[in-house]
Amino acid sequence: MRVAVVSDADGVGLLRALAEDGTPTGPVERVGNLAVAVAERERAARPRWVWAATADLYPRLLAAGARVDRCHDLALTEGILLAAEGRWGEPRSFPAAWARLEGRPVPDDAVRAAARPGQPALFDHDLLALPEPAELLAGVVAVHREQQRRLGGLGGLGGLGLLVAAESAGALAAVEMAAAGLPWRPEVHDAVLTELLGPRPRVGAAPRVLQELAAKIEAAFGGQPLNPDSPAQVLRAFAAAGTPLPSTRSHVLRGVDHPAVPLLLAYKELSRLHAAYGWAWLEAWVADGRFRPEYVPGGVVSGRWATRGGGALQIPHALRRAVVADSGWALVVADASQLEPRVLAALSGDDGLARAAAGGDLYAALAADAFGGDRARAKTALLAAMYGGDVGQLMTVLRRRFPAAVGYVEAAARTGEAGGVVRSRLGRTCPPPSAGWLAATGGAAGADPDPDAGARARRIARDRGRFTRNFVVQASAADWALVLLAAVRRRLAAGPAGPHLVFFQHDEVMVHCPEADAERVAGVAAEAAEESRRLVFGDTAVRFPLAVAVADCYADAK
């Protein structure tokens, strides 16, 4: 059972029951308190709620106590469908989908109107007409029915239905995690910053440790004035010292023998910490002992999440000390071990790589099987296979021992080099090449007549090949992780008073729970990983073990 829902600014809502194909099965229902009505319907029937965008409507429902189990997010689904249909670049919001369906001008996704709170922008800001709830509900019903038809028409991509369901479940989890917040101790954060940077400086001034490092860097270059934050000045200083460099990137600096190098590396690391997660960040993002980022499900083309500010997906190791469970509670952190190589084994059906993935340390097993026990060489070879890279003889060994795995990613690379698109296990589709790419590689009229154009075209084509080579693995890993997140969420099925998700990044989930529930939650994570393996990859011998840790502090769980 499905129920389409829209809301007005004052909490009044309209509902309509739908069949699985989107056909209405009942009349329009007007409810005076949407949150109460949703909560009652959820308890009675657990329908799949159909709405324009989870991020627009669900926060208000959740704040009013209406937690839902399932939904169909029209905006997220539209993005998945457009990509699968080869229509990358078309606006994917609900207003855009509705406009396309009715043959009206399609609004850009960036267009937002200050209309009713939570109501999508349907027209450009210079138009006064805004849809009434009944009209809006009709649009939701129509777009959903059309999306169900399109999903059925893409039968060759059999995993899209699961992908749409998981993407929508992820959107629910994103709202719930933002509402619950990640437990964060401001006093610990401040202590870490003080330990690493010195006392909090006045506004506009650099921390003491950065000032001291800057002075030492100047001294290492003979005392000449130098701003370590200026790559141009640093490059000139190295050139004057007889060591010209192509850039100031850390990997370039590490290859240079000069007394300023360790100082510069330390400065870069601490400067980034201060700029991205310093005292200003603490004041902006942490309140009432909680860090509440705004997650963006599917914010990366591979299906990985992004955030709107806050940097939740890149919390520095030093600041994980500030993530501390409430008194009497614990953090359960479940981290997928060597996820992407295992995904490649399952995708390719390579028996040898599957055997290596059966144990705990895939790289060690791979080393024992094909690289004379040298784990570092085995890891280098496999990462090169997935991400692209010239490792010479190592790749030859890998290709000979694991032909199906190497063949799988090389086929994806060839497709990309030829201008084609590739898909994840569940059907998430990569972007097609741009018009500029086609022109540069001779795939469109107006190819560059420069005599060096051929070499440049081959380089550009190889770059795209590396992207598609990685996309099939990374996006399929994102499929698995998203289904894992949805499975954990469904098994917890509780609000903030009980175990609840508080963090998700790429291949890791974190649950905040009463200490008495920690063992059960750890089991829930393991069950969810097995369910995700089965749903995404079917009958595969490859296992996806989770390293599950129970700790009071995030830093102790890693």
CATH of the domain at 26: 3.30.420
Contacts of 84 (CB under 8 A, 6+ apart): 154, 157, 160, 423, 427, 428, 429
Please, which pLDDT band fits residue 291 given cuts at 50, 70 and 90? very high
Residue 369 three-state SS: helix
Q: Sort residue 493 into left (φ over 0), alpha (ψ -120 to 50) or beta.
A: left
Q: In total, how many domains does the chain have?
A: 4
pLDDT higher than 70, residue 81 = yes
**Domain match, 248 and 353 both:** no
Same domain assignment for residues 229 and 261 = yes
> Are 109 and 41 members of one domain?
yes
Confidence of residue 367 (pLDDT cuts 50, 70, 90): confident
Helix axes 375-387, 362-370, angle to 10 degrees: 100
| 325 and 455 inside one domain | no
What is the spatial distance between Cα 38 and Cα 47, in angstroms, rounded to a whole number?
A: 10
> pTM score, two decimals?
0.92
Q: Out of 111, 136, 154, pick the residue that ends a domain.
A: 154
pLDDT class for 392, splitting at 50, 70, 90?
A: confident
Residues 256-268: tens digit of each pLDDT: 999 999 999 999 9
Residues 17 and 124 placed together within one structural domain of the fold: yes
Q: Is the pLDDT of residue 125 over 50?
A: no
**Residues 320, 352 within the same domain:** no
Highest mean pLDDT among 151-160, 483-492, 494-503: 483-492
Say if residue 192 is in the same domain as residue 318: no
pLDDT for 121 beyond 90: no
Confidence at 117, pLDDT banded by 50, 70, 90 = very low
Least confident of 72-76, 219-223, 303-307, 309-313: 309-313
- Within a domain: 414: yes
Measured at the CA of 366, the angle between CA 361 and CA 370, to 5 degrees, comes to: 160
**Per-residue confidence (pLDDT) for residue 130, from 0 to 100:** 65
Residue 120 in this model has a pLDDT that exceeds 50: no
pLDDT at 451 over 80: no
Q: If you average pLDDT over residues 153-177, what whole number do you get?
A: 94
C-beta of residue 369 within 8 angstroms of C-beta of residue 401: yes
Answer whether residue 540 shows pLDDT above 50: yes
Domain boundary among 409, 443, 474: 474
Q: Which residue has the tokens 């389409």?
A: 4
Give residue 219's domain range.
187-282
Residue 141 lies in a domain: yes
> Quick check: 419 pLDDT over 90?
yes
Q: Do 426 and 489 fall within a single domain?
A: no
Share of the chain above pLDDT 70, in %: 94
